[in-house]
Amino acid sequence: MTSVEDTREQAGNTPSERETVARRLLDSSETLSYDPAREVDWETALDTDHHGTSPEWSTLYGTAYWAELTEAQRRELTRQEAASVASTGIWFEMILQQMVLRDFYAKDPTDPAFQWALTEIADECRHSIMFARGAAKLRAPAYRPRRAVVELGRLFKTVATGEAAYAAILVAEEVLDVMQRDWMRDERVAPFVRTINNIHVVEESRHMKFAREETLERLRGVSRVRKQGIALVVSIAAYFIVTSMVSREVYANAGLDTRRAVREARANEHYKSMLRSSCAGLMEFLDSAGLLTAAATRVYKRANLI
């Protein structure tokens, strides 16, 4: 990130700077992209000796309830939680694809950024299929955000303008990134889940680069008042994305008492601190972009991101 920004500062914000970044992303995508249909082991039966996420990332890890669970129950819980995160990922990737497609509607197709945007949409399309197959292999039902959140997402993807869209995309991608980096390296996690996370981490690092660039680009020259509004909208989007990641239905599907699990998960300081530490870099970026206003900070605090 620094090198590109440094260059931009030296050269002034010429369109060719943006082109350079987009071209680099296109090249990188040509060199290193995956076909999940071939790379992921879909054939081997699920081995229930494995977790779905690193146990430390479970919403119940560290609670009294967790201490009472057998190892097998803990593994079933993290497998359902992993499926829920993947399903919420699909929900968000569908929002994201539509926002990017809308943003580039009728723009110049010879612009590398245009071609990159379509490449990113194609990546997300493969990711969503991969997440769908992954959740099915984890023997999970369809996990979706609450109805009201689904409708808010529908509204957001229809009306969000570039600045808010790319910042929200960045938030979702960054939060997922830190978790998936942990899971892809963790030998306790099912091998096919690790492969899925690995593919996602590699391809998303380019998306995050683009989202950072676009966020800064679109915020240039935006008035202070408007920026305040954007910052708040982005934080609210982040709140709903993060609080929708693990569905409350995972507990029943893992054979647990939903009420008790939800209560203890909500009060779980360990989980909250995992979220906070994973968002440190993101918050630094939002701050540097002027999007960490007092109002937005309050929302991020409620979402345990700060």
Q: Which x/- pattern, by CB under 5 A, does the window 75-114 give for Fe ion?
A: ----------------------------------------
Q: How many residues bind Fe ion (CB under 5 A)?
A: 4
Q: How far is the CB of 30 from Fe ion (least distance, A)?
A: 17
Q: How far is the CB of 197 from Fe ion (least distance, A)?
A: 11
Q: Which of 50, 75, 126, 127 binds Fe ion (CB under 5 A)?
A: 127
Residue 288, C-beta contacts closer than 8 angstroms, at least 6 positions apart = none
Asked if 103 and 210 count as a contact pair (C-beta separation under 8 A), the reply is no
Q: Near Fe ion by CB under 5 A, which window of 27-35, 53-61, 203-211, 278-286?
A: 203-211
Shorter beta-carbon distance to Fe ion: residue 181 or 260: 181
Q: Tell me the C-alpha to C-alpha distance, in Å, between residue 258 and each of 81, 238, 248, 255.
A: 13, 25, 7, 9
Give the CA radius of gyration of the chain. 19
Please name the residue that has the structure tokens 């997402």. 153
Helix (H, G, I), strand (E, B) or coil at 51: strand
Q: Tell me the C-alpha to C-alpha distance, in Å, between residue 67 and each of 61, 72, 231, 247, 258.
A: 8, 13, 40, 21, 16
Q: Near Fe ion by CB under 5 A, which window of 54-62, 99-107, 200-208, 244-252?
A: 200-208
Shorter beta-carbon distance to Fe ion: residue 11 or 101: 101
Shorter beta-carbon distance to Fe ion: residue 33 or 228: 33
Q: How far is the CB of 303 from Fe ion (least distance, A)?
A: 20
Shorter beta-carbon distance to Fe ion: residue 138 or 175: 175
Distance CA 179, CA 174 (A): 9
Residue 296, C-beta contacts closer than 8 angstroms, at least 6 positions apart = 231, 232, 234, 235, 286
- Tokens encoding 253: 């599907």
Q: How far is the CB of 175 from Fe ion (least distance, A)?
A: 12
Distance CA 22, CA 19 (A): 5
Shorter beta-carbon distance to Fe ion: residue 197 or 253: 197
Q: Near Fe ion by CB under 5 A, which window of 32-40, 121-129, 132-140, 216-224?
A: 121-129
Residue 86, C-beta contacts closer than 8 angstroms, at least 6 positions apart = 131, 132, 134, 135, 196
**Which one, of 302, 159, 145, 147, lies nearest residue 229 by Cα?**
159
Q: Near Fe ion by CB under 5 A, which window of 39-47, 151-159, 206-214, 270-278?
A: 206-214
Q: How far is the CB of 33 from Fe ion (least distance, A)?
A: 12
Q: How far is the CB of 96 from Fe ion (least distance, A)?
A: 6
209 binds Fe ion (CB under 5 A): no
Q: Near Fe ion by CB under 5 A, which window of 25-33, 59-67, 144-152, 199-207?
A: 199-207
Q: Which of 207, 209, 212, 218 binds Fe ion (CB under 5 A)?
A: 207
**Which one, of 258, 239, 242, lies nearest residue 250 by Cα?**
258
In this structure, what are the phi and psi dihedrals at residue 127, rounded to the nearest 5 degrees? -60, -45
Helix (H, G, I), strand (E, B) or coil at 189: strand
Shorter beta-carbon distance to Fe ion: residue 50 or 207: 207
Q: How far is the CB of 31 from Fe ion (least distance, A)?
A: 18
Q: How far is the CB of 83 from Fe ion (least distance, A)?
A: 16
Helix (H) or strand (E) holding 78: helix 71-103
Residues in touch with Fe ion (CB under 5 A): 124, 127, 204, 207
